[in-house]
Structure formats: structure tokens, C-alpha cells
Amino acid sequence: MRLSLAAPAKLNLTLDVLRRRADGYHDIASVMVPLELHDTVDLEEAPRLSLSCDRSDLPEGPDNLALAAAHLLQEETGTRRGAHIHLTKRIPVAAGLAGGSADAAQVLLGLNRLWELGLGRERLLELALRLGSDVPFCTLGRPALAEGRGEQLQLLPPAPALHLALVKLDVPKSTGDVYRSLSPERLGYTSLPSEVMDGLKRKDPAAIARGLGNTLETVMFERFPQLEAMKRALLDAGAVAVGMSGSGPTLFALSHTAEDAARLAAKVGRLASWTTATRLGWPAAALSLPDSAG
């Protein structure tokens, strides 16, 4: 048996880093939304576990989060079944769009089905968190307010089809490093999550635009002034609002229409390492957790 699944990227409309915890992680509050932009995860039953990927710069061994998810399922359930996983990457790597987490989430949900493991919602969420802070969100299939390390998830209504351009600049980043370099006076709210959640509910891009904010933006802009210059260029080119997703370096520019988003992406394309136009959504070929309609 085989499954071909979509693994949607994650975008942080807001990201507030609230406090450093004793375990070294930070408590956050973030309005996260899934995008139509997605990787494809093909799963096929096989005697053993293996992985291949259309990008030669990604690991194909246990360092690949998708394969790590499959190993974790085997260890936790004792199943002797195997599978070959093939990844077709469209989400840029180390971009703040949770590509690895998205792949891992679809492997968890897909192998639970392919191997007939019958794991329920709570167990899948627990395994997801062991793989990474963004993986639980990537199993939901809809927007959510994420708190704690990212595992306390409050489901929000399905996202309106908001259009946006994604723009990634060629700057190095380390997520851990960006968090560690946050001085205490930077911690706290810079965004208005309730405004954004209300905007999502009312399908009102202007309200969403008013509430955007990301604690890590200042750190990344100080390190890489070209990011701030790009934000300004996108606003000058007519973006409704511009934010940064996760720890960057991908910026997103909200637009009124698909045509506007494509025009913005094309306009700044030569200054960026990657651009695309996409929208909020959840592709039909993506699995989501059982009982997540609530």
C-alpha cells in the first residue's frame, strides 16, 4: 500500500517570546497558520525503513526529521513493519517555515494509517512534540494559537484564503542562536494576537495586518540589515503588511489578491534567494489529526 501526502508549511502571523524557562526553552505565544505551499511525502510499505529526497543537501539518514518520525513510531509501538519515504521538497530549508516539522507530521499520521497502528490524538501529539516544538501544530490542519514551547494548542477557525508573497533572503541563521541572543528587555508581547485571531475569524486582512509582530524580527534585522531593507521594499511595492515567520529569514507580504502576491514576489525576486506566491490553507492531500474539528 502507498500514500502520497501533502506536508503544508507553517507561518507565524505573530510570534511573541515571553520568557526563558529553566529547561533552556522559551515560552512563546504564536498565531500559526498552515499554507497551501507544501512538500510531498510519499510513503510505500517496504521490509525496512529508508528515505530518499529530491534535494541532495538534506540528510537521508536518521538526521532527517521525517525518518526520525518513522523510527520513533517503530520504537514506541514495537511494529515490525517498514516503509520507504520519499520527500519532494518545495518548502525552503531552514527558512522559518517548518519544512522538516511538516514532513515529520505527515509521516506520523501517514504511517499510523499505513501500518494500522490506531494511535489516537493525544498519543500522536505527544510523539509529535518529542520530534520538535513545531511538529504538534503541523498535525492540526488549521490555524492555532500555540503557547508553552508550542505544544499548548488552541484551535482557531479554518483560515480565510489570504494571499501572500514569501521572500527568503540568503542569510545564515541558527534558530537556537537567535533565541539565545534575546536580551531580557526584548521578551514580552510585540504583536496583538487577539487582533490577528479576530481578523482571521472575520476574514479581515486589515485587522490581521494591524496585529502582526515577531520578537525575533528585531534581532534578525540588527544582524542582517538587508532583511529590514527588504521589508521596506515590499511595503513600498504595495504589500498590505510585512512580517517575518519564525526565526526567519523568510518574510511574508500580505496581499489583497493572488495577482498582487505574484506581482510582489516577482518584483523583489532578483534581490532574494527564493520567492513564491501562496495563500493560507490546507491542501486536500494533507492528513490531519482525528477529532481536530472542534
Site residues, ligand ATP (CB under 6 A): 58, 63-66, 87, 93-101, 103, 175, 246-247
Residue 257 per-residue DSSP state: S
Instruction: Round to whole Å and give the CA distance between 4 and 40.
Output: 7
Per DSSP bridges, beta strands 14-20 and 213-214 are: parallel
134 included as an active-site residue: yes
* Residues sharing a CB contact under 8 Å with residue 196, sequence separation 6 or more, in sequence order: 13, 14, 31, 207, 208, 211, 212
- Mapping DSSP to helix (H, G, I), strand (E, B) and coil, where does residue 255 land? strand
Residue 86 CA to residue 224 CA, distance in Å, equals 34
Provide, rounded to whole angstroms, the least separation between the CB of residue 203 and ligand ATP: 27
Position of minimal CB gap to ligand ATP = 100
242-266 in b/e burial notation, b at 16+ Cβ within 10 A?
bbbbbbbbbbbbbbeeeebbbebbe
Handedness of CA 145, 228, 205, 140 (dihedral sign): negative
Min dist CB 135 to ligand ATP, Å, is 10
Instruction: Indicate the residue among 97 and 265 with the shorter CB distance to ligand ATP.
Output: 97
We find the least distance from the C-beta atom of residue 44 to ligand ATP, in angstroms, to be 17
**Residue pointed to by grid coordinates 504589500:** 239
Question: CA torsion angle for 230, 236, 237, 238 (degrees, to 10)?
Answer: 120
Question: Which residue number, 89 or 210, has a Cβ lying nearer to ligand ATP?
Answer: 89
In the complex, the smallest distance separating the C-beta of residue 293 from ligand ATP, rounded to whole angstroms, is 27
Give the containing element (helix H, strand E) for 274: strand 274-279
Nearer to ligand ATP, 92 or 213 (CB): 92
Respond yes or no: is residue 198 known to be catalytic: no
User: Choosing from 10, 168, 173, 267, which is the catalytic residue?
Assistant: 10
For the record, the C-alpha cell of 52 comes out as 530518499
Smallest gap from residue 280 Cβ to ligand ATP (A): 17
- Decide: 244 and 217 in contact? Cβ < 8 Å: yes
Given the complex with ligand ATP, which of 127 and 240 has the nearer CB atom?
A: 127
Which entry of 134, 231, 260, 267 is annotated as an active-site residue?
A: 134
Please tell me the total number of residues recorded for the chain in this structure.
294
Least distance to ligand ATP, CB of residue 173, Å: 7
Q: Which is nearer to ligand ATP, 97 or 167 (CB)?
A: 97
C-beta of 192 vs 244, nearer to ligand ATP = 244
Q: Which residue, chain included where needed, has cell 534567494?
A: 273
Which residues are marked as active site? Answer: 10, 134
